[in-house]
Structure 1
Amino acid sequence: MAAHGTYTPTKVIEEAKLDILAQTQEDDNAKWRRQVSRSFLSPTAEMYVYAVRASLGDDVYDEPCTKLLEQHMAKLTGKEALSCSPDTPKQPPYSVLCDHRAHIASWWTAFHSGAQLDYVIPLTGISHLDDIKEHVVLGSDITGTCPTAIIELENTLNGTIIPQQDVIEISEFAHANDIIMHLDGARIWHVAAETGTPLLCFSKGLGMSTSVLLWFRKLFGGGMRQTGFMSASAAYALTHHFPLLPGVHALTRKLEKGLEEIGVRITSRAETCMVFYDPSPIGVSYAEIIDRASKLPEPIKLGGSRLVVHIQTAEDTVDDFLAVIRKLAQEKKDAGFVYSEQQQKANGVGRSSIYVKVKASDLEKVQHQ
């Protein structure tokens, strides 16, 4: 900016101007989408074309496209309305009860609320009502306990579907005991594609640029003005991307089958769009796979044990990934590797969590070999 004392309106206006679009922006975007689709999901060009035609209302007062989306989603989910519902905020000391593998336990935390997290370790693969009852803390006595104020479910949980009947039973129990019920539905549209039970996140799975709908924004001082383009993106995703999810699930199962044929251990099966794997039975590390995949002519960006397929994942991406692992497995075999269950146990293989994220230091070791 100009030095203090030399400001003029003309200088400020000129210095404030900014053009962030490259001359080749459209071509760059097309190239970027192809590269990113090998690893992540992004909004499509067609979605943006549709979105910029949206209404230009102010959602603090009235936004036509957003209102239509809210009405549609209320009807679709069997709710009277989808809008802000004032309630008395729960203040610590209280606890949130969730599965020990839930994102709020392993990735996101209750840091800002100060809530304690209590964990359910279900006897089967998913939490049933009996699991919840065993761990819930009822009542309001805070002198020696931390009562459960929220029960949190995640559907899908690592790609595994929680049956709707279990959700209903847990929800009825929660409401009967004055406990808030929260469903993390980041991948709920994958559940809908398999079971016909819809809910509300538009980012993961459907490729919208933002995720959850906007129900509680005003309560926290976050009135969002021109929301029409976001509502239009959600409508486009519902109409054009949701029907693609059954194909995503089929491609994920192909990925799982290919991994098993190579000899890789599957640690969480492909019910929807995720599969978790352990490459140790073929003598390969996650770091080796990440390094090799990053060096493909069209790189694939990986992080560890979780593989996620989405609507922009091409079949050749899955084929390329399997080819990387197949080649590494053959290299290990040629070098004399022989799988031993006893040796794997001695080395500590078999983690309590199926999530394995590769450390930068482990990747650097592989790259310098």
Structure 2
Amino acid sequence: MIDLRSDTVTRPSEAMRQVMFDAPLGDDVWGDDPSVAHLEAYIAERTGKAAALFFPSGTQSNLVALLSHCQRGDEYIVGQQAHTYRMEGGGAAVLGGIQPQPIENEADGTLPLKKIEAAVKPIDPHFARTRLLTLENTFHGQVLDAGYVEAATTLARRFGLATHLDGARIGNAAAATGASLKALCTPFDTISICCSKGLGAPAGSVLVGAADFIETARRWRKVVGGGMRQVGMLAAACEYALEHQLTPLVEDHAKAERLAAGLAEIDGITVTAQATNMVFVEFTRPALDPADLHAWLKARDILVGALYAPRFVTHRDVSMGDIDRVVDVVGEYFKRG
């Protein structure tokens, strides 16, 4: 099966499995799982932050960051299309009483600085208290421009706002730009980094930030059910992924470029965007039923993304040969009468 639905479908390599098997274990709720402690120290050092905290998922890591930055009745500024706003179950509002203030993303994933400034509420009992600016990198595969990040976080600090980055795919940003994780994380107070997407770990995200913030986050992790026991096997997988599988992400980007070029040659498809490991398309044949195409591909052992936003995501478990096969099979579909 060639699975291009997401880079979340990646599986541990044999080397990663061996590291998991050999990982020393303890009880992380008691703070004595050595593999978790080593991962947290490792990623804190790589990102230039004082401390880190291991989570089972990126959704929980982002949620705990919001709960730790904001109190009930506060608000956070966020992109209308951002994962933390649209794709994480409304957790901040449901569980934290935190009001989102969405701003429409520009095509490159940025939030216009003037709109950020206009969204900050005055100190007045009528308004929710604006406490936090959140950004996402990469955003739909696109790397946020470093100059924009610096300007946006500087603006946030001018208004006394904290800053959080949903860095689920920050590894792709690092691979695409050659920037270090530390350079990409430095402008932000906190960053959530996912290891279970293109990096290939089976589960796990890490939240990094100041030491006192991470202690607050540790309590919130417990509150939302994120305390884990002998979880060193997952932590070891995440550390292996960060140490060995970051640079190879450039190969996933090359696969996406090849896929986009191939699909663009097919009459009936328009490639609307390609960035890092993602390719977005539109179907230009008026009578086309996207569900029919998906069924056609699935019958030929190819899985692709959601019907409402056709997306192909490349990753370490697909080869260049797989990419060529996908282009051929999609081409065959559109050549039918």
**Common fold: TM-score over 0.5:** yes
For residues 130-171 of structure 1, the C-alpha deviation after alignment (integer angstroms, 9 at most, x for no partner) is 24434422333231x333222111111111111223223222
The aligned counterpart of 2:229 is 225
2:96 pairs, out of 103, 113, 119, with 113
CA separation of 1:44 and 1:235: change in aligned 2, threshold 3 A: same
Contact kept, 8 Å, 2:77 with 2:119, in 1: the verdict is yes
CA separation of 1:68 and 1:326: change in aligned 2, threshold 3 A: same
Contact kept, 8 Å, 2:141 with 2:275, in 1: the verdict is yes
The aligned counterpart of 1:319 is 324
For residues 320 and 287 of structure 2, the distance between their equivalents in structure 1, rounded to whole angstroms, comes to 26
The aligned counterpart of 2:131 is 149
CA separation of 1:92 and 1:142: change in aligned 2, threshold 3 A: farther
Contact kept, 8 Å, 1:121 with 1:131, in 2: the verdict is no
For residues 115 and 78 of structure 2, the distance between their equivalents in structure 1, rounded to whole angstroms, comes to 9
The aligned counterpart of 1:205 is 198
Contact kept, 8 Å, 2:16 with 2:237, in 1: the verdict is yes
SS at match of 1:172: helix
Contact kept, 8 Å, 1:132 with 1:170, in 2: the verdict is no
Aligned 1:22-37 pairs, distance under 5 A: 35=1, 37=3
For residues 171 and 302 of structure 2, the distance between their equivalents in structure 1, rounded to whole angstroms, comes to 28
For residues 163-192 of structure 1, the C-alpha deviation after alignment (integer angstroms, 9 at most, x for no partner) is 223223222322332323121111111001
1:295 CA drift (Å): 0.6
For residues 132 and 205 of structure 1, the distance between their equivalents in structure 2, rounded to whole angstroms, comes to 32
1:139 equivalenced with 2:122 (yes/no): yes
Contact kept, 8 Å, 2:75 with 2:98, in 1: the verdict is yes
2:82 pairs, out of 89, 99, 102, with 102
Q: Name whichever of 154-163 and 115-124 sits farther off.
A: 115-124
Contact kept, 8 Å, 2:2 with 2:322, in 1: the verdict is no
1:53 equivalenced with 2:33 (yes/no): no
Higher relative contact order (CA 8 A, sep 6+): 2
If the length of structure 1 is used for normalisation, what is the TM-score?
A: 0.71
The aligned counterpart of 2:251 is 247
The aligned counterpart of 2:155 is 173
1:92 CA drift (Å): 3.2
Matched residues, number:
295
If the length of structure 2 is used for normalisation, what is the TM-score?
A: 0.78
SS at match of 2:280: strand
Q: Name whichever of 122-131 and 148-157 sits farther off.
A: 122-131
SS at match of 1:112: helix
For residues 218 and 16 of structure 2, the distance between their equivalents in structure 1, rounded to whole angstroms, comes to 24
Contact kept, 8 Å, 1:96 with 1:117, in 2: the verdict is yes
CA separation of 1:249 and 1:130: change in aligned 2, threshold 3 A: same
For residues 182-208 of structure 1, the C-alpha deviation after alignment (integer angstroms, 9 at most, x for no partner) is 211111110011122426321111011
For residues 142 and 71 of structure 1, the distance between their equivalents in structure 2, rounded to whole angstroms, comes to 41
The aligned counterpart of 1:303 is 306
| Greater fraction of residues in strand | 2
Which amino acid letter does the alignment assign opposite residue 316 of structure 2?
A: I
List runs of 5+ in structure 1 lacking aligned partners: 1-34, 335-369
Contact kept, 8 Å, 2:259 with 2:323, in 1: the verdict is yes
- The percent identity for this pair of structures is 27
For residues 282 and 144 of structure 2, the distance between their equivalents in structure 1, rounded to whole angstroms, comes to 24
The aligned counterpart of 2:58 is none
Q: Name whichever of 159-168 and 206-215 sits farther off.
A: 206-215
1:89 CA drift (Å): 5.9
For residues 182 and 132 of structure 1, the distance between their equivalents in structure 2, rounded to whole angstroms, comes to 18
1:236 CA drift (Å): 1.6
For residues 278 and 242 of structure 1, the distance between their equivalents in structure 2, rounded to whole angstroms, comes to 30
1:310 CA drift (Å): 0.9
Contact kept, 8 Å, 1:120 with 1:127, in 2: the verdict is no
1:44 equivalenced with 2:37 (yes/no): no
List runs of 5+ in structure 2 lacking aligned partners: 55-63, 186-192, 208-213
1:125 equivalenced with 2:108 (yes/no): yes
**Please, what is the CA RMSD of the aligned residues?**
2.7
Contact kept, 8 Å, 1:123 with 1:131, in 2: the verdict is no
Which amino acid letter does the alignment assign opposite residue 70 of structure 1?
A: E
For residues 88-114 of structure 1, the C-alpha deviation after alignment (integer angstroms, 9 at most, x for no partner) is 763332322112211233322233223
